[in-house]
Amino acid sequence: MSKIFYGRHHIDDDDIAAVTEILKNHSLTQGHTVDLFEQEVADFVGAKYAVAMSSWTAGLHMACLAAGISPNDKVITSPITFVASSNAALYCGAEPVFVDINPETVNIDSELLKISVKENNAKAIIPVHYAGLSCNMDEIFAISQDSGSIVIEDAAHALGARYHDGSMVGNCKYSLMTGFSFHPVKSIACGEGGMITTNDKNIYNKLLRLRSHGINKNDDTLSNLDLAYTKNLLNPWYYEMQELGYNYRITDIQCALGRSQLKKLPKFLEKRKHLAKIYDEAFADLRNAKPIHINYRNFSSHHLYVLKIDFEASGLSRAELMHALQEENIFTQVHYIPVTSHHYYKQLGYDTANYPNALKFYDQALSIPLYYDLTNADQEKVINIIRRFIS
């Protein structure tokens, strides 16, 4: 009996051929395929520049450094996200500050954010587009303009999603930078990998340096001219480390896969939305379970399909339900344990009781299978078994 996972990548012969072509004929890393992938993503979302890296976690670190976040700064984000969103602030010596979620969207609450930004004199805001639904970026952008804060969108879930004005997430009209993840369960897969988009050329060049040991061989003005030139000719071996950077490079192998996957992204998105609407209809009459984002299907990239389940009313704990589903080869997940509930953050003094909406959501959330290759039969099986257990 085949296993039905909460999320899964789709790989076809075109993807395999694209990777094979690189393995046979091209540079495996630091080659032209990276540049092509970056340009194609920038064009897709409508941004001027894009920089690919080894993971979006690395990208978050790079974005915070490029934004000038430093020790004693405060960075605001959501407690309902993966730990990478706030860890990036810690990497820079800054202090993460959490703002509770809006119960309807599961995204950061704009009204609470407005208060927190002023109280904390926040250097930056990292709004998280949960499950592929954009935050209210026009409101968040207005808050940032009033406060002088920098906005870095965590769009790990949201490649292909749209803002409420219909434009593409990642065009950076509301932020300094936006970042995407190419982990296998995301909109497109590179194995691992991430991408930052921006419309700021200085930020773009800084990201290029941070990605590769503080070295940008393309555009930087050279400082050590005696070493760089011989008789007014640039020495062909010369490069210059101009700041402390990292090895956060992505390979051409991954980018070849990413380019092939990007061509299929529209059909991936359409299938995910179609499956989500089938779930919506199937669960509409349940008293003890309600889908999130049911009113936002035309904007979301549908990275996750999350049910909010009243486990107490259903007479079944979440652990019991997940184990029962596993017995049927259906594998679900919880997104996420609040960041403030993790041992490390509790040791820093954070308490999830201060974020009641996040805590209530966590107590009820269950991510059920949603991916391009989910068959009608498998989805019907998921629906029938969940209805049997919680109705």
Residues 6+ apart with CB under 8 A from 287: 313, 391
Best CATH choice for the domain 265-390 from the list 3.30.830.10, 3.30.70.260, 3.40.50.2300, 3.90.1150.10:
3.90.1150.10
* Beta-carbon count within 10 A of 391 CB: 12
CA 310 vs. chain centroid, Å, equals 28
Q: What angle do CA 62, 65, 217 make, to 5 degrees?
A: 65
* Beta-carbon count within 10 A of 60 CB: 29
Residue with tokens 């820079």: 92
Spatial distance between the Cα atoms of 74 and 270, rounded to a whole number of angstroms = 38
Helix (H) or strand (E) holding 210: helix 201-211
- Select from 335, 336, 314 the least CA-distant residue to 324: 314
Structure tokens at 120: 């904390």
61 phi and psi, to 5 degrees? -60, -50
* Beta-carbon count within 10 A of 273 CB: 17
DSSP notation for 129-144: -GGGPPP-HHHHHHHH
How much is the pTM? 0.97
317-373: pLDDT as tens digits: 999 999 999 999 999 999 999 999 999 999 999 999 999 999 999 999 999 999 999
208-256: pLDDT as tens digits: 999 999 997 777 788 899 999 999 999 999 999 999 999 999 999 999 9
Confidence of residue 391 (pLDDT cuts 50, 70, 90): confident
Spatial distance between the Cα atoms of 100 and 317, rounded to a whole number of angstroms = 25
pLDDT of residue 26: 81
CATH 3.40.640.10 placement within the chain: 13-262
Q: Is 322 helix (H, G, I), strand (E, B) or coil?
A: helix
Task: Tell me the pLDDT of the chain averaged across its residues.
Answer: 97
Residue with tokens 């009459």: 285
Structure tokens at 135: 């935050």
CATH 3.90.1150.10 placement within the chain: 265-390
1-11: pLDDT as tens digits: 699 999 999 99
| The CATH number of domain 13-262 is 3.40.640.10 | yes
Q: What is the mean pLDDT of residues 296-319?
A: 97
Helix (H) or strand (E) holding 290: strand 289-291
Spatial distance between the Cα atoms of 330 and 299, rounded to a whole number of angstroms = 28
Burial class of residue 218 in the structure, from the number of CB atoms within 10 Å of its CB (0-12 exposed, 13-18 middle, 19+ buried): exposed
